[in-house]
Each structure stands twice: as structure tokens, then as C-alpha cells.
Amino acid sequence: MNQVKSVYTPTIREAIFLTFFIIGTTSISIIKFSAAPHIPILIAIFLLIIFGLIKKIPFRLLEESMIKGAQSGLGAIFLFFLIGLLIATWIVSGTIPTLVYTGFQLATAHFFYAIVFLVTAIVGIAIGSSLTTSATIGVAFIGIASAFDASMDITAGAIVSGAFFGDKMSPLSDTTNLASTIMKVDLFEHIRNMAWTTVPAFIISFIVYVLLSPNEANVDFSKMESFQEGLNATNLVHWYSLLPIVLLAIFALKKVSAFITLAFNSIFAIILSFFHFHTTGKELFQIIFNGYVSSTGNEAIDSLLTRGGLNSMMSTISLVILALSMGGLTFALGIIPVLLRSIEKALNKIGTVIMSAAFTAIGVNIFIGEQYLSIILTGETFQQSFARLGLANKNLGRVVEDAGTVVNPLIPWSVCGVFLANVLGVNTLHYLPFAFFCLLSPILTILLGFTGKTLSFIEPKK
């Protein structure tokens, strides 16, 4: 959002007041009244415009700042369309159902918590949605845990950890695509860079879940077997359905752009679907736009597979446009620049600026409870500070994911926290101590910031 120039310089008191007023309005609307984040953000935009008009700033300049702010998210918006398309085509090609089925094949009674973590991670990567993973596969594991009197709190912690690992590392994830676009970093480069903190957090979490798992258990896996039978009945589980994943990996290794990778993969998935999914051209276009609709009669499977399509991304796209428009206004009105200048002396070291960005992302989650805003606001606010210290944008992308995306489910009043507590039947504060991956991610990103390890620096212009 560097292209948005300040047209007004507020006092530090004005900047602090407006910031807390926006945060207060948004947090009360989302947390107390369960409003969709779009509405409070729109209200904040109105308030900022009114403030600008009171300060005699022409509306034309305010409008231009909103447009420029929204334009910075166009890359993400194009990718969101392709994600909706890819999810729908990966279902009809059998890629997602086959991955889920394969994940369940790994489940055993031994090392139960570790298996829960691993399977939800696989499914999370496959579908790119932590909430859908938790509400389907996660609920099945909760039922299995209750069958042999395992700890519901640890099971829920393992589900949340695995689901958010998968969401964070999936090219289908909207938060992952949003972070890479806000930071102007290639999607697959962003994912590779996150591995420096994500892989150690995964390994440590897996080991802890192994140690916590019961050695012996008389487990009733009938629910899981029923899930697998239901997936088989869809006629979407085939060995060749995993070929799109192989193709995705090849394109990623070749560093092909995310746009071309997702588009080509969608076309390949559609071609594969003709081997087993017989449909008319009209029905196929309906699936591409509105998503696949599963009607097996199994509620868990139908919930898992009824998704995708261009239309499914409209809510996310509108939220991104509104949030970035608000961000454009905060820069044009000088709010963010004034706040940054007030703490600029404290942000003169790499470790300090990374820790500040991490705490900001955590703070947005605590005060607003929305992970998209934790990514957008933190990313837009700290890009200049990172650049001033010679840090490449992908470092900030990793920080906002480590301290923004995966922290949201740990906040009881956040969007993810409320949802997960309801679907899993476990209080957020009860599973929080056992969501090891979510707890470790921000700690590791801050530690690596102070050590300077794995950081990337801006290459000097030739």
C-alpha cells in the first residue's frame, strides 16, 4: 500500500483515538453481536471518510485512496477465483475424496493423538480449510475419542493443530493466498519460506502427541469405517485422482506462477473427472461456478464435499476489498504513518520489528477476533519497517501466518474459536493448552527473528 500517499498528518492523539475507535467498533460488532466482519469494516470506512471531510480533505482524494488500497489486493482476488475453481474440480476429479480416504487409512488405535494430528493435517492441506476439516474429520475423531474415553481436550487440541497446519501450508487456503498477495510474494515461495517455522512446529507437536497417546486402547472405529464406506460410495476415490497433486508439486518445484499452476491444474482435474464422473456440460459449468453438491445422505461427507466453485469465494473477496479500502484510508489520513513514526526508534532492530509484527497480529486476533484482518492490517502496517531494515517481504508473510492465522482458534471470542468450540463440543480454553502447533508457531517465528536464522534479505539492485 506504499502507493497510497498521505494527504493529512494527524496528531498522535488523533491517530491513537481513531485506531482504538476502529478497533473498538469492529471488535464489539464481531464479538458481542456476532456480526460478519464486512459490516463493521464498512462502518469504519464511513467514519474515516467523515473524519477526512471534517478535516476538509476532498472526497475525491479519499475515494482514490480506497481504490488504490483495494487495487493492492487484485492479485489475491484473481487467485481466490482460481481456488474456488480448483476445489470444485479437485472434488469431481476425486483428488480431495481420495486424499481424505488415504488419511483415514493411517488411523490406528496406537498413538491416537498423533494420528489425529497427522490425518487432520493431511485433510487440511487437501481442502485448504481448517474449519471444514474440524467440522467433518474432526467431529469424527471426537466421536472416536469418546468411545474409548480418551481426553477430549487433547483430541480437540490435536484436531485444531492439524487442521490449521494443513490450512496454513495448503495452496488452496484463502489465508495463505491472501498473505502471499499482500506481501507481493509468489504463493509457492511463501509456502516454502513458512516451512522454516512450520516444519519444526509440526515435528515437535507430533512427538508430544505421540508421548501423550495411550499405549493400548480398545477403540471403536465404526464411525471412521462408515466414513470411508461413504467416500467409496461416491465413486470419487481412485488412485489416478492423486495425479493433480503430483502435477501441483512439479509446477511448484519448477517455480511456475501460482496463477498458471492453479489454472492448469484445474483443467487437468476436469479431464481426469471424465474417467468416472459422467455429467453434461451444463452441470459441469454449474459445478465450476456454484461448487460441487454432495448428496450421499451421510451428513459428514456431504458437508466435506459440498464446496468449491467461483461463487464460494465471493464473501472472502468482498471482505478483502473492504479491508484493503479501509487500509488505504488509514494511510491517506496519515494514521498508520504517524503511529509508525512514534515507535520508529524502537523498530531499529530485526528481532524487535519481527516481534512487534507478531504481537500486532496476535493483538488484532485478541481485540477484533478476525484472522483476515490480522493478516491485512499487520502486513500493510509493517511492510515499510521490514524494508527499512532490508528484510524481504516473505519474512513478514511468514510472521503474519505464524502469529495471525494459527492464533485465531486460540481466542475464545474469535471467529474460529467460537466455531470450533461449537462443532467440537470442547471449550476453547480447554483445548488451548494442547493445540501445540498453534502455540509453537508464534514462538518459533519470534525466536528465529532474534537469531537471524532463515531470514531473507532484499537483494541489492544491479
Q: Any idea which of 18-27, 181-190, 282-291, 434-443 has the lowest mean pLDDT?
A: 18-27
The residue-averaged pLDDT of 320-346 equals 84
Please answer whether residues 431 and 153 qualify as being in contact, where contact means their C-beta atoms are separated by less than 8 angstroms: yes
Please answer whether residues 408 and 440 qualify as being in contact, where contact means their C-beta atoms are separated by less than 8 angstroms: no
Q: Which residue(s) pair with 391 in the sheet?
A: 457
- Rounded Cα gap, residues 420 and 160, in angstroms: 8
pLDDT at 225 over 80: no
Q: Can you spell out the DSSP letters for 119-141?
A: HHHHHHHHH--HHHHIIIIIHHH
**Residue 403, CA distances (Å) to 94, 149, 371, 379, 392 in order:** 34, 33, 10, 12, 18
* pLDDT tens, position by position, 161-216: 999 999 999 998 889 999 998 898 999 999 999 999 999 999 999 999 999 987 65
- Rounded Cα gap, residues 392 and 221, in angstroms: 48
Q: Is 204 exposed, middle or buried (0-12, 13-18, 19+ CB in 10 A)?
A: middle
Helix 222-233 and helix 139-147: axis angle, to 10°? 150
- Rounded Cα gap, residues 191 and 133, in angstroms: 20
pLDDT band at 315 (very low <50, low <70, confident <90, very high): confident
Please answer whether residues 392 and 460 qualify as being in contact, where contact means their C-beta atoms are separated by less than 8 angstroms: no
- Rounded Cα gap, residues 169 and 188, in angstroms: 9
Local structure of 36: helix, strand or coil: coil
Rounded percentage of the chain residues whose pLDDT exceeds 70: 95
